[in-house]
Structure 1
Amino acid sequence: MADRDQIILSTTNLLASLPSHVTLVAAAKFHSPEEVLAAVEAGVQVVGENYVQEARRMVDVVGRRVRYHMIGKLQKNKVKHAVDLFDLIETVDSWGLAEVIDQRCAAVRHTLPVLVEINSGLEENKSGILPERAEDVVRRMRLLKHVRVQGLMTMGPLSDDAEDYRRYFRITKELFDHLASARIPGVEMRHLSMGMSDSYRVAIEEGATIIRVGTAIFGPRPPRN
């Protein structure tokens, strides 16, 4: 378990360095609720989880004093629980997933904001919608009554050099701006989620309004139990 005082210090310094328009999502990634509570004490208001079962554990301990974002790949068979747990799903990577979310939200009379995940690196084995297909998918999603598109999310191909991410963040920002200018009814380009611990500075330079940071707050990711 990471040192509580170090988490508080890292979180405080990170929050102080961010522009006011940027939201920090603390990516829990198997860190304990106690570690996340230290970050919350330091000012974190949004917690990101990669797995539904981990989010349930976190909500049970940390509670609803913070908002929760789904930042990992969401399986369709987990949507029922995800709709109940998360305030925002950042990883809608297909029309089919959007439909399932809409159906579940309709069943519980709930409307859920989502971000559309963009495969900005055109990677065959990576989740996300290709940039050239994004507008068509977003226009279809506006017809869903219980899902609200509020922006885009991307990761980009993994690299040890933060600068390597810049072109992929820029591609996604250009798409974000295009969709915003299209003024699609029922669609709001409010959030642009890009950048993690090793790339968030570049992401902010390229227009990110949400960053997903884990290691820079909590230290190395622990093994999954």
Structure 2
Amino acid sequence: MSMQERLNSIEQEIEHACEKVGRNRNSVHIVAVTKYVSVETTKQTLDHGLTHIGENRAEGAIEKWNALHDRGIWHFIGSLQTRKVKQIIGKFAYLHSLDRLSLAEEVDKRLEPGEIMKCFVQVNVSGEESKAGITPEELHSFIRQLSQYKGIQVVGLMTMAPFYEAPESTRPVFKKLRELRDEVQVLQLEHAPCTELSMGMSNDYLVAVEEGATFIRLGSALVGRE
């Protein structure tokens, strides 16, 4: 299938999932995960009308950003080492993997005065040891502590579900993240509006949409691999 054919199919499926649960299709944003493809394929992604580009390695992302930064909205979606923060500041609008105060401190330190980094706090809902993120029990305290960093805005929560052959098995994970997001909203913290949910990947994004995802991260299902 061509990228356009894959995109058409994905759009139809998202539309159906939104209708199923009474959501507006416009509330779901596709982040095209381009970590395994070339600059040219990333350009084609933008040419097809997608604006959100996701990368998970600072080194691989910079070449693409240098070539295409004037066209897309860039998301850093992978685990970020503190020493590499300086490579993404000023380039990426969103950080999907905020999971420790030392990272928040470094991001805040590197930002220009008045500059804001839109962050998703990564929560390890499933409890898998292989997954990064804070525990659900740590969430409220962690988000409150982030108020000391004036450049950090918590726009939402992010999680990665376990890989299951049956995508339906991921539903409890996505449902729990939505419930955690709702709890944070009740706190009415100025630095943490927490309106967004980054969850769902190529194998389980439709379940994530049904459970409230506002950003879904699609790699192989959309852009393929090279």
> Is this contact kept in 2: 1:8–1:41, CA < 8 A?
no
What is the alpha-carbon root mean square deviation over aligned residues? 1.6
| Residue 37 of structure 1, CA deviation | 1.6
The one-letter code sitting in structure 2 at the alignment partner of 1:177 is D
For residue 53 of structure 1, what is the aligned residue in structure 2?
A: 59
Q: Distance in 1 between matches of 2:64 and 2:77?
A: 14
Q: Distance in 2 between matches of 1:76 and 1:161?
A: 36
Q: Distance in 1 between matches of 2:157 and 2:208?
A: 13
Is 1:14 the counterpart of 2:20? The answer is no
The one-letter code sitting in structure 1 at the alignment partner of 2:110 is R
- Structure-2 change in CA distance of 1:180 and 1:109 (3 Å): closer
> Is this contact kept in 2: 1:12–1:43, CA < 8 A?
no
For residue 65 of structure 1, what is the aligned residue in structure 2?
A: 71
The one-letter code sitting in structure 1 at the alignment partner of 2:188 is R
Secondary structure of residue in 1 paired with 2:26: coil
The one-letter code sitting in structure 2 at the alignment partner of 1:140 is Q
> Is this contact kept in 1: 2:200–2:216, CA < 8 A?
yes
The one-letter code sitting in structure 2 at the alignment partner of 1:210 is F
Give the one of 70, 77, 80 matched to 1:74.
80
> Is this contact kept in 1: 2:181–2:195, CA < 8 A?
no
> Is this contact kept in 2: 1:11–1:44, CA < 8 A?
no
Scaled by the length of structure 2, the TM-score of the pair is: 0.90
Scaled by the length of structure 1, the TM-score of the pair is: 0.90
Is 1:119 the counterpart of 2:119? The answer is no
Give the one of 193, 199, 202 matched to 2:198.
193
Secondary structure of residue in 2 paired with 1:125: coil
Contiguous gaps of at least 5 residues in structure 2:
15-24
> Is this contact kept in 1: 2:131–2:160, CA < 8 A?
no
Secondary structure of residue in 2 paired with 1:218: coil
Give the one of 139, 158, 164 matched to 1:159.
164
The one-letter code sitting in structure 1 at the alignment partner of 2:128 is E
Give the one of 18, 23, 27 matched to 2:29.
23
Q: Distance in 2 between matches of 1:110 and 1:185?
A: 16
> Is this contact kept in 1: 2:35–2:61, CA < 8 A?
no
Give the one of 145, 148, 167 matched to 1:143.
148
The one-letter code sitting in structure 1 at the alignment partner of 2:63 is R
Q: Distance in 2 between matches of 1:73 and 1:163?
A: 26
Q: Distance in 1 between matches of 2:110 and 2:166?
A: 40
Q: Equivalent pairs: percent with the same residue?
A: 33
Secondary structure of residue in 1 paired with 2:97: strand
Q: Distance in 2 between matches of 1:70 and 1:91?
A: 8
| Residue 7 of structure 1, CA deviation | 1.1
For residue 42 of structure 1, what is the aligned residue in structure 2?
A: 48
| Residue 15 of structure 1, CA deviation | 3.4
The number of aligned residues is 216
